[in-house]
Amino acid sequence: MGLITPVSRGVPETKASIMNGVRGIGPVTLFPVPRGRSLPVGEIHGSFEMDGLPRTHQFALIAAEEAMADSSDAPDAIVIGGTTGGMALTEEHLKRGDTSRELFKYHATGSVAEYLAARLKCRGPVITVSTACSSGTAALKVALEMLREGRARNILVGGADSLCRLTYYGFNALQLIDPAGARPLDVDRRGMTVSEGAGMLLLEGKDKVPDNAIAEILGAGLSCDAYHPSSPDPEGTGALAAMRAAIKDGCISASEIDYVNLHGTGTIDNDLSEARALDRLFVEDKPLLSSIKGAFGHSLAAAGAIEAVISAMSISDNFVPGNTGCKTPDPELRLNPVIEPMESDIQTVLSSSFGFGGNNASVVIGKPKKEGAAISSQGPSHLTIVGCACITGAGKTRMTEKAFSEGRSCKGILPDREVSKDLSPKTVRRIKRLSRLALSLAIAAHKDSGESDDPNSLFFGTGWGPLSNTYDFLTKLYESGEHFTSPTDFIGSVHNAPAGLLAIRFRARGSNITTTGGDYSFEQSLMTASLLTKERDDLILVVGADESHEILSGLFDDSVSGDQTPSDGGGAICLRRADTPSGLRLLPTFFEYSKGNPSIILSLIDSLGGPAKIKSKYGALLAGIPGSLRERGRDQLSQFLEGSGFGGPVIDYRRLTGEFASASAVAAVLAVCFAREGKIPEGLCGKKSSSLNGKGILIIGLGKFVTAVEVIT
């Protein structure tokens, strides 16, 4: 495990700080604030050696190196929860009017995980979960399922976030900051304290518990309130569902929980919602419970990971942290928190995190059992495709398919009025372009499915998140001398804001995960969907979308800056996990990091079953090569064609879709359309149409990562 927080740096030091009642909350010094506007924060002080690298990345590396200190091998995979990425540095450059793209190379939320992968020489899947304040705990659930399915032997998982103007002023605009510092569960609490930090855990999946095991992740659960973009369900129904799911997943009962590490932000509504959930979970006596956010502050995506580390410490070192900041517990909450840190024999801990968009995540951590749970050797199962939709500059699904089939460009930006045709005027007034794209795609895909029931689980992939909301928030802030900004833009600026709106639209209360990793975000969302949806007959919706922004897109995305035609759009696919395979099926089959991985194409070919299997299984290949990585991508494609002997149609789809991060979501939808028709159209073959002869279509992503998704019958 590894930690860096406002109270200490390192796991041993953290325990000492907790037992000594250290409170890491004070005035903000990272950026100037107007006179009279200073609010307490959880800021990490001290010198950092890596100039030019955002604080989030530095925190993540410090915690990761501590977690990996006793491991001689690189992790097989990395799963990180994040919300801010390089935002703190981006804000400085935007305020000064800097326009050099090199300055923004670490802006992306997903760049934190990629940076760790490069430093730690990880060649496997690299996934970034961005579900606001539940990100770190949700990342644990994703990693747990990867281990259970045998997709990795060991995984570095955690969360990292740094303070920045967006979160500091954003939560203040919502009037959610306590000027006295967070006082979770206190009768006089007035809000939260925004903080920063990182927590990392190295997880191993083994049949037998290793000698150096600290604790065991017994189970984890996810849910969505489907209630409001930023406020929790007042009855705590979603929070309760996540807690119950984690307990069930861990094969234990609520009565076996010895300590509850609360989300406990200190806001009036959040604490009340969580308390009501706990009141329903523990019908008799409640276990020991406390929140550490009165001492640590709320480090957003990092909070759940930090609290998972501290929960594991409570088990290994037999102690319970105190509920710093609480002097008189609010009687309405019916909770009796541990006020001062204490020693206690802790066998099992329940730790929960809740975030914007109604995202809830809980994890159950216990003392390592004598025998671990068996690791599954079964490969991932297919998901049956029941509906799909896409949007490009050429129009919605039918128009895009027609233009693409004729080999015509689909580049451009579909006007908002066309995107929003199926949305109510009230909805359109409240949201900006990315959310409009996501809602329109989801509604169209669900309509195409012909299903009468609504999707229960939602997965959203976006490379850059809601750029319009972010830009408008910061512009208003700077124009007012950092006095005023828009709370609506702040709520809409989080990457998972569109997914939260989808949940409300469809009343979807199951898993709700947003992933972000540049050009490979949609592939990450497909992978998490295949990992997290276990129930048969559940309707699942996977959406990938990105918006074009006239200023930010070119600064952040090198591929966009190299194309003269600004483009955006995305795709959505409705899926079911059926008992027996039928119809078209979809499966993400490969995801590896190409840096320092010279045999990556050989690995891809092997994972697909070798040359003979590839030629017999796939009738066409859709290749995604981002513009900024075209030379590397072409080389990788040539290696694949030579090594596999594949001789069918090869379509370089981004030449037609344009450059935007979620172009692979459009490619997936087009692959479904072609597979339904059983042929690749003439305009894409340079001759008469090519029959698939019952074979499937392979979609590969190339460049920084190499990915593969198959659409087969």
User: Residue 49: how many CB atoms within 10 A of its CB?
Assistant: 6
Q: Are 453 and 539 in contact (CB under 8 A)?
A: yes
Which tokens in the block code for residue 525? 């969302």
Distance CA 628, CA 8 (A): 40
Radius of gyration of the chain (CA): 24
Tokens 């409640």 belong to which residue? 286
Buried b (16+ CB within 10 A) or exposed e, 421-446: eebeeeebeebbbbbbbbbbbbbbbb
Cα torsion 116, 118, 120, 124 to 10°: value is 90
Q: How far is Cα of residue 391 from the mean position of the Cα atoms in its chain? A: 23
Cα torsion 341, 343, 349, 351 to 10°: value is 10
Distance CA 674, CA 680 (A): 6
Distance CA 357, CA 227 (A): 8
Alpha helical stretches, state H, 258-334: 268-281, 293-296, 301-317
Give the residue numbers annotated as catalytic, written as ranges: 133, 263, 298
Q: Can you state the percent helix, strand and coil of the chain, rounding each to 5?
A: 40, 20, 40
User: Residue 52: how many CB atoms within 10 A of its CB?
Assistant: 9
User: Residue 608: how many CB atoms within 10 A of its CB?
Assistant: 21
CA neighbours closer than 13 Å in the CB half-sphere of residue 399: 12
Q: Are 29 and 43 in contact (CB under 8 A)?
A: yes
Alpha helical stretches, state H, 97-152: 111-120, 135-148
User: Residue 635: how many CB atoms within 10 A of its CB?
Assistant: 12
DSSP 38: -
Which tokens in the block code for residue 61? 């590396």
Pairing of β 259-261 and β 288-290:
parallel
Taking CA atoms, 329 is separated from 45, 258, 332, 444, in Å, by 31, 20, 9, 49
DSSP 282: -
Q: Where are the beta strands (DSSP E) in 491-550?
A: 512-515, 539-546
Residues 6+ apart with CB under 8 A from 287: 257, 258, 259, 260, 350
Distance CA 266, CA 445 (A): 40
User: Residue 676: how many CB atoms within 10 A of its CB?
Assistant: 14
Which tokens in the block code for residue 344? 């206690």
DSSP 186: B
